[in-house]
């Protein structure tokens, strides 16, 4: 029994092998119409934000890849549908669910590459609705309905679930955008940057510890300098006090000497005055003595003359 390999695009819509050429032509026509519509919109809205334009380009590229994957998955499924047993079909359904989860994760990763606001999501959903309306609905494969019964509904459910998962991821991304930067920073940084950030944080911690040690050493040096300055200040103050005491003693001795000198000057002046007085007395006595001697001599001479006369 031939084993069926589940395509990675098995979650997408499958189209009939006979309608492949028609679907390719329809896709090409739809792409051309979308390009024409884009040109018209660009002419009408020249000031369209860059984020919305990038989002539309991403969605359009995803839609084109989606349609091509749908065609390829449809062809692969139709080739293997005739040889698939019910048990293998069930296994194929499980594998399809797993592939759907993978596609959902891939689309979520692609959606994470760009952050959309609520208004952009609404505009994006409207543009997707318009682009889908331009494409003709693919016919339900008769071979798949005959082989699997409800395979069409299953793939439709898987596609809806994939779209719901992508929409949910976009909404979550929008909510993350509205969160504070401190909450979303850790989730937005890649693993390599997180490693670099951890290394930088460890270096910052080491530098912080070294800075703290340097601050402690600086505080210790400042305290030592303060103590030395205090000792020097105290010694200088002591020397100044001793010098002031010595100056005061010298000043007191000088004052005492000045007083003694003044006293001695006063005594000398008094003695000089007394000497002058004694000199005056001696001069007066000498004058009186001379007068007395002159008078005595004159009286004696007179007596001698009188005696001579007699």
What does pLDDT average to in each consecutive run of 10 residues of the chain (310 residues)?
Answer: 47 50 71 72 54 68 72 73 54 49 50 50 55 46 42 69 80 71 57 80 91 93 91 87 91 92 91 91 89 80 72
Q: How many CB atoms lie within 10 A of CB 173?
A: 18
Report yes or no on 201 lying in a domain: no
Q: pLDDT at position 15, please?
A: 46
Q: pLDDT at position 210, please?
A: 92
Q: pLDDT at position 121, please?
A: 55
Report yes or no on 50 lying in a domain: yes
Dihedral sign of CA atoms 54, 56, 60, 62 in order: positive
Report yes or no on 54 lying in a domain: yes
Structural domains of the chain, count: 1
The predicted-structure confidence for 144-186, as pLDDT tens digits, reads as follows: 444 444 445 667 777 788 788 888 877 877 776 766 666 555 5
Report yes or no on 5 lying in a domain: no
Report yes or no on 91 lying in a domain: yes
Q: pLDDT at position 263, please?
A: 92
| CA nearest neighbour of 135 among 62, 39, 12, 29 | 29
Report yes or no on 234 lying in a domain: no
The predicted-structure confidence for 3-33, as pLDDT tens digits, reads as follows: 444 445 444 444 444 556 666 677 777 777 7
Angstrom distance (rounded) from CA 259 to CA 178: 98
Q: Which residue has the tokens 């270096």?
A: 203
**240 burial class (0-12, 13-18, 19+ CB within 10 angstroms)?**
exposed
- Backbone torsion region of residue 5, taken as left when φ is above 0, otherwise alpha when ψ lies between -120 and 50, otherwise beta: beta
Q: By residue range, what is the domain housing residue 40?
A: 17-187
Q: pLDDT at position 183, please?
A: 55
Report yes or no on 63 lying in a domain: yes
Q: Which residue has the tokens 């005595």?
A: 296
Q: pLDDT at position 184, please?
A: 56
**Average pLDDT across the chain, whole number:** 70
Q: pLDDT at position 180, please?
A: 63
**146 burial class (0-12, 13-18, 19+ CB within 10 angstroms)?**
exposed
Q: pLDDT at position 110, please?
A: 47
Q: pLDDT at position 219, please?
A: 93
Report yes or no on 169 lying in a domain: yes
Output the DSSP codes for 154-206.
HHHHHHHHHHHHHHHHHHHHHHHHHS-HHHHHHHHS-HHHHHHHHHHHHHHHH
| CA nearest neighbour of 69 among 36, 111, 102 | 102
């Amino acid at each position: 029994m031939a084993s069926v390999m589940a395509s990675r695009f098995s979650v997408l819509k499958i189209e009939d092998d006979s309608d492949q050429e028609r679907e390719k032509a329809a896709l090409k026509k739809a792409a051309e119409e979308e390009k024409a519509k884009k040109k018209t919109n660009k002419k009408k809205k020249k000031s369209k934000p860059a984020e919305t334009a990038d989002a539309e380009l991403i969605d359009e590229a995803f839609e084109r890849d989606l349609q091509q994957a749908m065609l390829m998955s449809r062809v692969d499924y139709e080739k293997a549908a005739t040889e698939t047993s019910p048990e293998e079909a069930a296994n194929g359904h499980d594998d399809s669910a797993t592939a759907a989860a993978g596609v959902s994760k891939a689309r979520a990763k692609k959606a994470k590459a760009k952050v959309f606001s609520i208004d952009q999501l609404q505009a994006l959903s409207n543009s997707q609705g318009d682009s889908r309306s331009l494409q003709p609905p693919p016919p339900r494969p008769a071979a798949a309905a005959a082989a699997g019964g409800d395979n069409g509904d299953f793939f439709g459910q898987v596609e809806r679930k994939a779209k719901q998962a992508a929409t949910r991821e976009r909404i979550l991304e929008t909510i993350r955008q509205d969160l504070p930067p401190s909450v979303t920073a850790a989730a937005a940084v890649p693993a390599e940057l997180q490693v670099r950030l951890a290394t930088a944080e460890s270096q910052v911690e080491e530098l912080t510890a070294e800075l703290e040690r340097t601050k402690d050493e600086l505080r210790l040096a400042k305290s030592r300098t303060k103590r030395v300055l205090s000792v020097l200040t105290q010694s200088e103050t002591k020397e100044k006090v001793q010098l002031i005491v010595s100056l005061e003693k010298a000043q007191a001795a000088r004052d005492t000497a000045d007083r003694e000198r003044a006293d001695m000057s006063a005594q000398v002046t008094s003695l000089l005055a007394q000497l002058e007085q004694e000199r005056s007395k001696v001069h007066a006595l000498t004058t009186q003595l001379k007068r007395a001697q002159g008078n005595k001599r004159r009286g004696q001479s007179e007596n001698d003359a009188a005696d001579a006369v007699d």
